[in-house]
Amino acid sequence: MGVVAEAPQGRRRFSVGYVVGADGARSTVREMAGIASDVSAPTMSAMMGLVRIPDDQAVPVGWHRTPRGWLITKKGFDGHTLVHTLACGDGSSRRHVPLTLEELSSQVAWIVGHAVTMSAPRWLSRFSDFTRLARTYRAGRFFLAGDAAHVHFPIGGQGLSTGVLDALNLSWKLGLVVRGAAADGLLDTYGLERRPAAQKVVDNTRAQVALMGPGTELDSLRTLLTGLLESGRGNDFLSGMISAQDTVLPASPRYGSPHEGTFLHNIELITAKGPSDLIGLLGEGGEPLLLLFGEGGGRYAQTARAWERSLRVVRCRPAGLVPYSAVLVRPDGYVAWASDGGGPLADALAALFGAAPGPGPGPVPGLEEVPAPGPGAAPGLEGVPA
């Protein structure tokens, strides 16, 4: 497929296998690929700017709710103030029209109920709770990532991180497929895994927007939620949701282990080369890792030989307890398979990379032997304490 790019040096034509549209909310790639989206009309309009407000103006600093909306201000540098307004119930979004100082000033006045003088804008911008979620993240050889795939109200600061996680999910899959180390079907899992994650973000931002309604009829709901947060009981759930660390891969096949499809937090490891950790190993080559703990991993290493171009096999010892003797970790940190479920490793490898091309000759690729445990060191076997 041919792609024309316009660079400062002029137009250049590239022959490419795939196109990833990481080109923002108004994505040209999304339009060219003909990818439709689910959209929700805005219910509020928001403005922001870095402006000068004289000290004698009665504009409070911080978050302030009035019967008409919100004013959020923060002292900036150089005598400037960062001003946000949220006009709830105003879905007449003018999001394609550049914001003027006069419009921001009159919006502030309308929300707080008196005129406010402002000047010397450094920048001005507007946004809304308009949402868009692409119906598919893949159309043939086109993919979408970031705001090109999902747009929502920026509350909770989740937009950029959701896009980064898209990129993390797609990049290793594209890398393997492009170099022939995995079948094209692996790329279908990208949207199956990432679209539900974006849907959750869209949903939680809409819930937060609903809670911001200025009317007193929401006060009892706000009081209830404040109580829940102060009790500490909902905090793990909410922080897992906002940070996305609670994400369990929905489309991931399961082979019996409860760890499959979950994010594996960093673990310290002793490898043949010395102390390391999961993040360090994943960062070395960016390929999927089959970690073999203890002495019983030989048969897994033999199974993995047939997919030698797709993964790296490392025999190691964990610094603490682990609940399995072998685990297959994807480059994005998710567990694709673990031995404690009893399911065959070959099935998991075939599902990820495609049917086995057949065992390669010679030793297991990338298999690094780990030194024997010293006195008191963790043997790393299932259920054996450190």
Ligand X SMILES: Cc1cc2nc3c(=O)[nH]c(=O)nc-3n(C[C@H](O)[C@H](O)[C@H](O)COP(=O)(O)OP(=O)(O)OC[C@H]3O[C@@H](n4cnc5c(N)ncnc54)[C@H](O)[C@@H]3O)c2cc1C
172-181: which pairs have CB atoms within 8 A and are 24 or more residues apart? 172/286, 172/287, 172/288, 172/330, 172/331, 172/332, 174/18, 174/20, 174/143, 175/286, 176/287, 176/310, 176/353, 178/17, 178/18, 179/309, 180/309, 181/309, 181/310, 181/353
The pairing of beta strand 37-40 with beta strand 69-75: unpaired
Options 42, 159, 318, 380; binder of ligand X; rule CB under 6 A: 159
Q: Does residue 169 interact with ligand X by CB under 6 A?
A: no
**According to the binding rule CB under 6 A, does residue 3 interact with ligand X?**
no
Check binding of 163 to ligand X (CB under 6 A): yes
Distances (CA, A) of 269 to 275, 370, 373: 6, 10, 12
| Candidate segments 22-30, 182-190, 236-244, 261-269, binder of ligand X by CB under 6 A | 22-30
Report the b/e string of 57-85 with b at 16+ CB within 10 A: eebeeeeebeebbbbbbeeeeeebbbbbb
Q: Is 157 in the site for ligand X (CB under 6 A)?
A: yes
What distance in Å separates the CA atoms of residue 202 and residue 87, rounded to the nearest whole number? 20
Shortest gap between Cβ of 161 and ligand X (angstroms)? 5
Q: Which of 22, 109, 168, 244 binds ligand X (CB under 6 A)?
A: 22
CB of 374 to ligand X, least distance (A): 44
Segment near ligand X (CB under 6 A), from 34-42, 129-137, 154-162, 170-178?
A: 154-162
154 binds ligand X (CB under 6 A): yes
Residue 146 lies near ligand X (rule: CB under 6 A): yes
Q: Which of 18, 24, 103, 188 binds ligand X (CB under 6 A)?
A: 24
Q: Is 147 in the site for ligand X (CB under 6 A)?
A: yes
Is position 243 an interface residue for ligand X (rule: CB under 6 A)?
A: no
Q: Quick check: 49 binds ligand X (CB under 6 A)?
A: no
For binding to ligand X (CB under 6 A), which residues are involved? 22-24, 28, 127, 146-147, 154, 157-161, 163
